[in-house]
Structure 1
Amino acid sequence: MSADIEADVESSTPIWAAFGDLMSVLLGVFVLILVGVIGAQMQLSHRLDEEVRQRQIEAQRRKALEQALAVPLAEGRVTLVDGRIGIRGSVLFALNSDQLQPEGQALLKSLAGPLADYLRARDEILMVSGFTDDRQVRDGNRQFVDNWDLSANRALTVTRTLIVEGVPASSVFAAAFGSEQPVSSNGSEEGRARNRRVEIAPMPRPKAAAASTTDDTHGR
């Protein structure tokens, strides 16, 4: 009888050992899956946090710009859409001219100080863009070849004026778009007037330019 019991115990021992090994393997697999899930959740959480941080930075940038432009915005002399400062061409220039009108000169002078402070605080640069309507420059005006030429000269005029009024020359540049990228239909005078505009858009300073500026400063 005793021999039979010992035989049963010996025969059942490998089964429990195999079952234990199987449970260990299953536990290891479960742990690996759990670690993978936790890792994926952490990556997703990090991405979401980074996206929220970027949105907060952008919101702060726009709020700072709105504060810098509070007075001219309240007076309706400028617009601010998606971080771009828009100024109607009629405020700055007479038709088919790149010479600043007194109102435009005064407006740019009032913007230069806040913009310079904003740039210093944010380490950004300004792109000054000139735009026209789709009508060609009058034949009697030999000063400009076409709308590209007119928009380029207007952008340069605004850029130079901002520099004279205190915006660092290294933090502003001009761009011309002619009649491209209209904001309204050119089928009416009101629409064409809206398309004749200058936009001032802050943007991140290119890293290469920032590094070059740092090297020049150290070299001096």
Structure 2
Amino acid sequence: MSLESEGQAELGTPVWAAFGDLMAVLLGAFVLVLVGVIAVQGELALRLDEEVARREAEAQQRLALEQALAGPLASGRVTLVDGRIGIRGNVLFALNSDRLQPEGEELLRSLAAPLAGYLSARDQILMVSGFTDDRPVRDGNRRFADNWELSAQRALTVTRTLIAEGVPADSVFAAAFGAQQPVSPNESEAGRAKNRRVEIAPMPRPARDGTDRKDGDGR
């Protein structure tokens, strides 16, 4: 072999070795990227399955509520939007009052049994929320300091009535929102009437901590 051929062979060997090392590095990087992409796809697929399951559960919940409340819904005295049962304030109470009107008492009696049946099959509770318009309370007896207090007392009245009609006491609670969260502008009487309302919404029961305290000291 000539000296020229031997020189070319000596120069070619390191080049091919370096090329092989480079390809190995590139292949390793490709494998890592591929593994990462597969992991991301798996996580996205899991999240998609969870979201689909959640939406299906919500749809089943709405359907169950619609079936349970078919009578009151058909009468037009209540609404069901996004799983929240809405009742106009003028159906339940006179203006600036927390005392149920006869129509309101009848309506709550018609709701109690379906709601109790609905809760019996689910680990849920009911939040009874009171809302008002934005006008200051005009109460001749000065029973309510403001709209917060009026909405709280109305929510309590509805809650106590549902309990008296058979809804388990540990499955319902009251909440007050006053003039917050209006569903219509308060610029007209029609809008204010829509904002004076009570809503009943199923929600998950809070997790229990597992403790069994018999008195205030935990003994």
Coarse TM-score class (shorter-chain normalised): 0.7 to 0.9
Corresponding residue pairs, total: 212
Q: Please say which of residues 179-188 and 66-75 is displaced more in the overlay.
A: 179-188
Deviations 1:66-95 (CA, angstroms, capped at 9, x unpaired)? 221122111101011222111011111122
Equivalence for 1:204 = 204
Moved more, 81-90 or 117-126: 117-126
SS of the residue corresponding to residue 38 of structure 2 reads helix
Residue identity in the other structure for 1:179: A
Q: Shift of residue 35 of structure 1?
A: 1.6
2:216 paired residue number = none
TM-score normalised by the chain length of structure 2: 0.83
More helix by share: 1
Query: What's the offset of the Cα at 1:157?
Result: 0.6
**Aligned equivalent of 1:103:** 103
Shift, 1:122, TM fit? 2.4
| Partner residue, 2:192 | 192
Gaps of 5+ in 2: 214-219
RMSD, aligned CA: 2.7
Return the letter of the residue paired with 1:180.
Answer: Q
SS in 2 for 1:122: coil
- The runs of 5 or more residues in structure 1 that have no matched partner are none
TM-score (norm 1): 0.82
CA 1:37–1:48: 2 relative to 1, 3 Å: same
- Structure 1 residues 18-27 or 82-91, which shifts more? 18-27
1:92 is matched with 92
SS in 1 for 2:158: helix
Aligned to 1:169: 169
What do residues 144-188 of structure 1 show as CA deviations (whole Å, max 9, x unaligned)? 233222211111110001111111111111111222222222222
For residues 51-62 of structure 1, the aligned pairs below 5 Å read 51-62=51-62
Task: State the distance in 2 between where 1:26 and 1:146 align.
Answer: 71
Per the TM alignment, residue 20 of structure 1 is displaced from its structure 2 partner at its CA by 4.9
2:217 corresponds to which residue?
Answer: none
In the alignment, the residues of structure 2 paired with residue 88 and residue 44 of structure 1 have an alpha-carbon distance, to the nearest angstrom, of 43
What letter is aligned with 2:41? Q
Does the C-alpha gap of structure 1 residues 26 and 205 become closer, same or farther in structure 2, counting only changes over 3 Å? same
CA contact (8 A) 2:96 2:139 kept: no
2:120 corresponding residue in structure 1: 120
Paired residue type of 1:67: Q
Aligned residues of 2:127 and 2:175 also touching (Cα < 8 A)? yes
| Whole-Å separation in 1 of the counterparts to 2:41 and 2:139 | 66
| Cα distance change of structure 1 residues 101 and 34 upon mapping to structure 2, 3 Å threshold | same
AA in 1 matched with 2:188: S
